[in-house]
């Protein structure tokens, strides 16, 4: 890995054994597994941030009943023609 940094961490024995079993089944190195975990964590945090922004937007400008009923009717008319 170009530009890589080595670091040591301490984790409980049980989690280490689970990690080892999981990574061996997947056929990846510890470094690769930890990098994937960090990437997933970052993506999750970004998704959570975007959800908070979305929710805050609705708190600032809540839906009104008239708009909701209109969207419901439009959705029904479009989706009722779909083969489910």
Q: Does residue 10 fall inside a structural domain? A: no
Q: Does residue 46 fall inside a structural domain? A: yes
- Give mean pLDDT, residues 50-70: 89
27 by DSSP, 3-state: which? Answer: coil
84/76 Cα distance (integer angstroms): 13
pLDDT digits (tens, 9 = 90+) for 3-25: 999 999 999 999 999 999 999 99
The domain total for the chain is 1
61/84 Cα distance (integer angstroms): 33
Task: Quote the pTM value.
Answer: 0.65
CB 20 within 8 A of CB 34: no
CB 20 within 8 A of CB 13: no
Q: Does residue 45 fall inside a structural domain? A: yes
Q: Does residue 31 fall inside a structural domain? A: yes
């Amino acid at each position: 890995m170009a530009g890589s940094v080595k670091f040591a961490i301490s984790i409980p024995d049980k989690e280490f054994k689970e990690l080892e079993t999981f990574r061996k089944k997947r056929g990846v190195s510890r470094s690769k597994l930890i990098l994937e975990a960090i990437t997933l964590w970052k993506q999750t945090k970004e998704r959570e941030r975007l959800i908070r922004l979305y929710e805050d937007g609705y708190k600032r400008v809540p839906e009104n009943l008239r708009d909701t009923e209109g969207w419901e009717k439009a959705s029904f008319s479009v989706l009722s023609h779909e083969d489910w």
